[in-house]
Amino acid sequence: MKKNYDLDDLKIYFAVSAITVLILIYLSPKLGIVFLIIYAYVFYLSLKSLEKRKTESIKYIEDINTDFDSVTKNAIFNMPFPLVITDEEDKIIWYNTLFLNMFESENIMNERLSTLLPIVETTESEEELIEVFEVNINKNNYRVHSNVVDVSKTQSDRNKMVLYYFIDNNNYRELYNRYVAEYPIVIKIEVDNYDEAIDSTPSNNRPILKAEIDSIISNYFKDYNALVRKYYDDMYLVLLSFSSLKTIKGKRFDLLDDLRELDKGNTIPLTLSIGVSSFGLNFQEAYTEADTSLDLALGRGGDQAVVKVKDSYEFFGGKSKAVEKRNKVKARVLGIALRQLIDGASDVFIMGHKNADMDSIGSAIGVLRAVLNRNKKGYIVLNKPNPSINNIINRMKEEEPELYKLVVNRDYALSNITPKSLLIMVDNNKPSLTEEPELIEKTPQIVIIDHHRRGTEFVENPVLTYIEPYASSTSELVTEMLTYMNDDLNLTHFEADALMSGIVVDTKNFTAQTGVRTFEAASTLRRAGADMVKVKQLFQDDLDTILGKAEVVHNMKIVFDDIAISRLEKSSDSSVLISAQSADELLDINDIKASFVMAPSDNQTHISARSKGNFSVQLIMEKIGGGGHLNMAAVKLDTVNLDEAEAKLIEAIEEYLKEGDK
């Protein structure tokens, strides 16, 4: 290959030649002059040759650039996909025909690209590649790539230009949509009250009822090309596509209504609990997730579907009252299991919810008795009594001073609890609502006993869970468990009164949420020495509480024809108690099916909700961050503005009513 030299490459050659000529001139002047003339001529020819080659090189490069510009322009003008160029202000300065054909307008020059494609995001950096994105134009999907070009050093008045090119993405999008639509979803179904419903059916209709249950469930999913397998009398496993699940969600799982309407002489209606996995899992993970969702549906009282969606859940149904289970096997098994856990623990800490009520403190006292019966150290964690439990705490001081010494605050509990301690949560299953959430992190051994419907927030991996939404109160559940944990209850009269007060407050004197087992628990406590006169004295109010309830009645207004909303304007130690009791009393007004009372408390707004019939205040409270039962729920909002809280409440009620119309 011919090599080109520049002047720098020839410097040494000319220097050596010049020295040689000088030496010749010195030794032989005549000969030296001849060589000097030859040297000068060669030097001149070399400079001319170098200049010529430099000119040729520049012309060669210019020709290449010209050809490259022609190729580039020709390539851009003839690209088989839409192209558009914008300036730094997002204005269109050039586009090809394919880009223009995507729009109905014939003149889009100088328009902002973001007005045609709202998803377009421009960048301030001249070197940054704008992120790839997708757009839909006239039912076509495009994947848009872009690049920023710095033109500030050219003759252009602009600083930069942005080139967007649109790649047809229809085939990929269709394939992806099909992949999503056909992705398998796992569903687990349980008939909540199968045994009770069958037992309540005339014997000659029982085979028909069983067959109808199978038929309704199988035919329902058959319409969605799903695979249904019954693997137990009351359990079903379903595999269906994600697109079918979306359709079912759009119909709000109307299978729940179909089965509830089944009547073959059964006096107890049939309900379903449905657990659904989320998208993007393998079969093993999906089965586990569906099982977890089913547990959540059962923990919330059944008659509902729970669908896992990323890191949260969607709930459908749950508008009927949980049916009482007459089978006491579960209570016996869990009672024995709790006894074994107590025996194996170094000590036991019992904790209710913040702003403890009679059921919370009463059930805690009952569990403490179970611990003492096993000769173990036990403590009730209570930071500060509130007006709703002041009477029972004062009576404990007087009648049971040794028991009162076992009521400790958070500091004592946090400094004494160990990984070998047992923590028992009563009347609550949300960690954030416990008397001291930090205790949950101190021990892996946690037991939950509660009658509230389970929400999405829950303790991770409790060793024992007893959540029964059908129960009137946690005190009822604890009373039942006590009968299986020891041959003799050993309840003092005070402890029996405490448990009875828990049942009384949550049943509104045995008028709401009561079942056969509620009265059985009450009779057990009565035999243990519970005195209804003394229990009633625990609920006596002071004058300020009575005046507060009168204010709530005065402030009441009716919305949506049959829903009462009221408020307590000033904050006090009794605010929560007054709002709860007032909500109960507002239900006594004719034609009122639900009541909501707001009250300021601890820089928050507390809302107590009550209802009768099939109006679920639980679902309404969950929409704004609370929870509870079908006909008894509450929430704390992070605002002290009652008008703002009322606006959120009315919005949640309106949303609930609209869902009921679907």
Residue ranges of the binding site: 353, 357, 359, 427, 451, 506
Strands (E), 325-463: 348-351, 378-381, 407-408, 422-426, 446-450
Nearest to 545 by CA among 568, 564, 515: 568
Amino acid, res. 421: S
DSSP element (H, E) containing 305: strand 304-309
Structure tokens that stand for 387 in this block: 């007006």
185 in the Ramachandran plot: left (φ > 0), alpha (ψ -120 to 50) or beta? beta
Opening angle at CA 149, ends 148 and 150, nearest 5 = 120
What's the CA gap between 328 and 487, in Å, rounded? 17
Nearest to 164 by CA among 79, 70, 73, 74: 79
Amino acid, res. 119: I
3-state secondary structure at position 436: coil
Q: Give 113-147 as a DSSP string.
A: HHHHSTT----S-SSPPPPPEEEEETTEEEEEEEE
| CA separation, residue 328 to residues 177, 226, 421 (Å) | 49, 36, 28
What's the CA gap between 269 and 70, in Å, rounded? 81
Residue identified by tokens 């639509």 is 181
Nearest to 326 by CA among 188, 470, 449, 182: 470
Residue 624, classified by CB atoms within 10 Å of its CB into exposed (0-12), middle (13-18) or buried (19+), is middle
Mark the binding-site residues for Mn(2+), compressed into ranges: 353, 357, 359, 427, 451, 506
Sign of CA dihedral 47, 48, 53, 58: positive
Structure tokens that stand for 434 in this block: 């416990």
Kindly state the DSSP code that residue 186 receives in the 8-state scheme: E
Q: Which residues contact 544 (CB under 8 A, 6 or more apart)?
A: 572, 574
| Strands 604-611 vs 594-601: parallel, antiparallel or unpaired | antiparallel
DSSP element (H, E) containing 596: strand 594-601
Nearest to 299 by CA among 55, 474, 468, 130: 468
